[in-house]
Each structure stands twice: as structure tokens, then as C-alpha cells.
Structure 1
Amino acid sequence: MLPLIALLILALPPTQGLNDNLTGPGLAWPNQLWVPTGGFTAPGTTLSSYYTWGPDPIIPPANSSGIWDIPFPFIPMLWGCTQSYIEPFQRALWSNFSNATLTPRREILGFNEPDHPQQAACTPQEAARVWREVLEPLRYQGYRVGSPAVTSGEAGRKWMRDWYEACMGGCKPDFLALHWYDLVPQNFIEHIQYYHNTYNLPIWVTEYASQNFSVFNPSTGQYDNQATYVEVQRFMDITTAYMQSVDWVERWFWFGAMYEMQGVNELDCLFDPSGKPNRTGALNELGVQYAGSNGSVSVGQQLSSGGRRRIADWSRFRWIDSLGSLLS
């Protein structure tokens, strides 16, 4: 008898091209105009949407090459609970998010790892207050709003329980946003099952990758016992197969569309390393596996002379030094 996960993979329909933008894999994109997106938008792509860890979409200069365009709907995020994040989010909201095409159900993401001291770092009480004041009203304006995205350890589960309690019935997310970093596909499956069964809401996995945060080596300053490339591919295969097999997982976003992986296993990167010097955005085998596109981008393509590259602000995105303690 075939194991369950093999049956899941065999039962999946053949990969199609651009989908209806309601479900499926998406692009977590921290690069702005630092890297072209053409590898992910090439023929055959199955990506359904993208987000940037903020309220602003990618807007290429008018005279730039098409490899900088993103044909997927944009998902804005209110990253943190302080005014330094609330005010830019509200400005973007008032400008209709620069008239970007949003997802068909006009979805918005909530706070990024509020239980993590190096990320949004909101107390459940702070997050409940900001949610009630800023995000909950958007649900009555036709937006569909996702929960705060907590880390994947027990600290995240406790924070979510405390947040719901602090909300006193005033926070009603339309779906749960989750993060996951570990090596075992079955643990990933049980993690998202826990949240779905506990809160009875659809699931979005807005960050995930095959990454071990359990064995820190102080002599190297890195985490040991990481997955091999074959193991990373298998992790992606199995988790994707499961998410496609259930109707309560709506979207998922692999953490790896960047050349500097910010402490996460370099083998999770979706870009071909040969393109790193020129930031071509060409995909490697894992990137093609994830996006379904052929990943080809001309190495010589750059912004035209009238455009100007923007540099990514990495300080907002990775948080490796203390993440391991939150996963224990």
C-alpha cells in the first residue's frame, strides 16, 4: 500500500498556468526593484499573488523592461502595531494602494510575527487594540483581513490565544496567517491542522521553508543539521501536495525569493546562484518547482537608463538571532 503522502502526490491534477488568483502558491517578495521578477512570471507560472511585507506594491518605472512587472494581484500588509507602521499603511489605504490590482477578495495581511521580539513585537493587548481600530473596520469596507502571523512554536500558539482573549470578541479575522520553519513535513502538516481545527478558519502560510532552528552552533554562529537540497525539494513536494489536497488552505508563500537568505538555509533559495552577481532573478530548479514557470531571464537585462534600482531594506525581514528560542 502506498504511503499517504505518495497517494496525495499521485492524486494531484497536472500543473496549469496562471490560476484564478483565489488560491495557490504566492510570491513573498522583499526585493522591490532590486531584482527583476521575470523568472516568476515566465510562461507556465502557477503563482497567484504577491506581498512585500508592507503596504506598497511594486511599481516599475514606466520605461523599464517587462521583466520587472508583476502580473499577480498584490496583498498589502500592516506589518507592526506602532504608528511608524500604522501611518504608512493608512496613507497607502487612502491612496487605494497606488491603484494596484488587489486579489479578487481584496485581502490584507495583519502583523508580522508579533510574538517575536525582533519582528513586530506587539503584546496581545496592543495588537487587539490596533486591530479593532485599524483592521476590523476594513472588513466592513469590503476587505478580507488575515490574522497576525505568529511564529511556529508554542510561543506563537500562546500569543494567538492571548490575542483572541484580549480582543474580547472584537477581532474576527477572515483567515489565519501562519509561519513555519522546520525540517519534517509531517510536523508542518500537523501545525496547520492545529490552527485550522482550533479556530475553524481558512489557512494562509505566509512564510515557510525547510530550516532547522533547533541546533545552534556557537562556534560558527549558525544552526547545524540543515536539510540537503534533495531533502528541501522533498519537503516542498510533500507540503505542497498536502496543501493542494485540502480545501481549507488558500495560499502559501515559500521563504526564498532572495539572494541573501538572512540566516535561513541557502538551499531554500529559489534563485539560480549564477545570476547573483548581476541580480538577474533567474530561477534554479527549486524555483521552477515552486513557481511552475521556466524561470528564464536574460542575464543582461537591467532597468533602462531612465529607471533607478531601489535597495532592499533587509532590517525589516529577517530575525535569525533569537528565532530558535521561539521554536522550542
Structure 2
Amino acid sequence: MSTSSSTITTIGRTSTTGSHTSSRTSTRSVTTASSSSSPIATPYPAKRGLTYRNVTTLQFYPPPSPYISWSYNYYSLPNASDDVGIYPSSQYRFIPLLYNDADSLTSIWAANVNFSIANYGTDAIFGFNEPDANFNGQSANMPVAQSIQGYHNFMQPFAGRVKIGAPAVTNAGGGLTYLAQFLGNATQQNLTMDFLNIHWYASPYNIDYFESYLAQAYNLSVSYSPAGAAPLPIWVTEFGMDQDFYDQPTTAQFLKNATRFMDAQTWVERYAWFGNFPGGYTAFGTPTTNMLLNVDGSARSVLGDVWYSYNGTN
């Protein structure tokens, strides 16, 4: 495997978030493998996840899979109210998500997470979906202080039982700034974070941007890691295309490049494409060319085939 050694440097800064002030500079060398590298050596890391709405769509990814190990559906149980079917408990780990801090979600959160831990292999939980953004009401849209309070009330009680992810932030402009402010406050209040959670959308011609954005997120993790502690790994729980005019072969090549890159980085722990939906499904305005299923949802699409079986060899 050809590798390139890149240095991720945290710029010395003074940041104030609440009453937390920190100023430090750290430089650590991270070995990264280019997306054009030769194939990943076996055993292949099963970092891929499935972002789904209807639980029956998981049938198109029969286990065992050397590449897929988990799933989530933006809810705290694997069968949301509009789902059809029963979650296959022996298939992929289910990761509950607390979308925002609405009473209708928080009132059932603890019970649902406990049930998922007992029945669905849950080993991590997600908190707050895109609190840094407001995309036509389809994001959490929460100030940092509100997110911190929500983590204290609803996420921290599970510390030590499952991994706790930081809020999922976007690449829309202020996502990493929001995350930095959140981490500063979380450090001050001794909240537990086990990984960072990011989303990314752009064009299939922007693989360099994709790789550099992930490196920026990891750089942020490095800067907020206590002295002597390992930086928090990155989970990419949504990534995809930002427009609908890219053809599937072009998007599929981007997907191959992106998965090859992420599988080569030890600091990328898990990732999920958006999403495992029928090709005619435009969730939150997401282009139909992003989808892992065909138009009527009866089989995997070209992208779905890549997701299920791509082994990094071309």
C-alpha cells in the first residue's frame, strides 16, 4: 500500500466557550493512505453502516458482510412508527439517535436505548442531528448551550455502557466551529465523548475536499484531547452528493474512492452513506442519485452494490 505522511497541526489558539479557556499547540504526525492507494489488506474493516427508513430494506444486505456492521434510522428504536417489518436482531448493530431535545423524543429515550442495548447489539448512541444548521426544519437547529444541557441530561447517563458520539455537524460552513464550541463546554463540564460525528455533502469531483474535511475534523479532535490521551476517532454518519445531475457511475467511483480512503485511516472508525432508500426517495432534498436502492426499492442500485461488496481493489 502506498502511503503519504501528512502532519496534522493544531494551531495555537485561545478559545472561549462558556468559561472554558484553552491555549495550546500540538503537532502529531498522522499516516494517511491516499484514495488512489492499492487495495486494503485483509481482514477488511467492517466500518460501513446503513442509514435506513424502512427496516425491510436491510434484507438487501444479507449477512454475514465483511464490510457492513451497523445501522441507524434517526430514531431510538429500529422500527419507527412508519416502518414495516421486524428488525433482524442478529444482523447489524443498531445505533439509536436522539434527533433533538423535543419532549416527545426525550421522554422515551432512556427506555428505548436500554431496550436496544439488550436486544439489538447497540454499542453506541448518537445525539442531536445537525444542531449547527436549519435546513427547512430538517435539522436539530440547537444552540451550543442547549446541546450541552441535552447531553448532560440524556447522553451522559449512558457513559461507560456504550460509546457516546458528539452531535453530528455539517460541512455547510460553521459545523466544525460549532463542534469546537461544544467540545470546549463538554470538557469544562466533564461530559463523556467517545467519537466525533460529521456529515459531508459536495460533488463527486471533490474527493480531495472530502479527505481534507475529515482531516480537519480529526485535527479538532487532536486539539481537544487531554495530554497523553488518544484523540477521539471520527464517525462519518452521512456523506453524499449535493446535486442531482451526477450520473451513478461517476458517483459510484467517488464512493469507491471515499470508502478506500476511510478504511485506510485508523482514526475513521465508522461511516454511512446517505442513504439506503429507494432511488425515487428525496429525503430532505437529497438527490435521488445518492440512493443505495433502485427506484422502486426492490433491489440494490449500482451504489448499493458498491456499498455491499466493494473490497477496495479498483
Q: TM-score, normalization: structure 2?
A: 0.74
Count of residues in correspondence between the two structures: 257
Q: 1:249 Cα shift?
A: 0.5
Contact 1:196 1:203 in 2 (8 A): yes
Contact 1:178 1:204 in 2 (8 A): yes
Deviations 1:235-294 (A, max 9, x none): 101111110111111111000211203222211111123xx1xx43x112210111119x
Counterpart code for 1:11: P
Counterpart among 242, 262, 272 of residue 253 in structure 1? 272
Hey, what does 1:107 align to over in structure 2?
Answer: 124
Q: Distance in 2 between matches of 1:44 and 1:192?
A: 25
Deviations 1:104-151 (A, max 9, x none): xx21111111112221121100100111122123114x2210110011
Q: Distance in 1 between matches of 2:113 and 2:57?
A: 26
Q: Distance in 2 between matches of 1:258 and 1:115?
A: 25
User: Whose strand fraction is larger, Structure 1's or Structure 2's?
Assistant: 2
Hey, what does 1:127 align to over in structure 2?
Answer: 147
Hey, what does 1:27 align to over in structure 2?
Answer: 50
Contact 2:50 2:275 in 1 (8 A): no
Counterpart among 41, 47, 55 of residue 13 in structure 1? 41
Consecutive unaligned residues of structure 1, counting only runs of 5 or more, are: 213-223, 294-328
Which gives a bigger RCO, structure 1 or 2 (Cα 8 Å, sep 6+)? 1
Counterpart code for 1:130: G
Q: What is the DSSP-based 3-state SS (H/G/I as helix, E as strand, rest coil) of the residue aligned with 2:250?
A: helix
Hey, what does 2:110 align to over in structure 1?
Answer: 90
Consecutive unaligned residues of structure 2, counting only runs of 5 or more, are: 4-32, 223-231
Identity of aligned residues (%): 23
Matching of residue 52 in structure 1 with residue 80 in structure 2: no
Q: What is the DSSP-based 3-state SS (H/G/I as helix, E as strand, rest coil) of the residue aligned with 2:69?
A: coil
Contact 1:74 1:100 in 2 (8 A): no
Q: Distance in 2 between matches of 1:285 and 1:24?
A: 20
Q: What is the DSSP-based 3-state SS (H/G/I as helix, E as strand, rest coil) of the residue aligned with 2:171?
A: coil
Q: What is the DSSP-based 3-state SS (H/G/I as helix, E as strand, rest coil) of the residue aligned with 2:272?
A: strand
Q: 1:6 Cα shift?
A: 6.0
Q: Distance in 2 between matches of 1:131 and 1:113?
A: 14
Given the superposition, is the C-alpha separation of residues 45 and 285 from structure 1 closer, same or farther in structure 2, using an over 3 Å criterion? farther
**Which runs of structure 2 are paired with 1:64-79 in the superposition (5 Å)?**
69=88, 71-79=91-99
Deviations 1:148-185 (A, max 9, x none): 00111222122112223343243331000110101111
Q: Distance in 1 between matches of 2:145 and 2:96?
A: 23
Q: Distance in 1 between matches of 2:116 and 2:36?
A: 42
Q: What is the DSSP-based 3-state SS (H/G/I as helix, E as strand, rest coil) of the residue aligned with 1:271?
A: coil
Given the superposition, is the C-alpha separation of residues 139 and 239 from structure 1 closer, same or farther in structure 2, using an over 3 Å criterion? same
Hey, what does 2:16 align to over in structure 1?
Answer: none
Contact 2:49 2:69 in 1 (8 A): yes
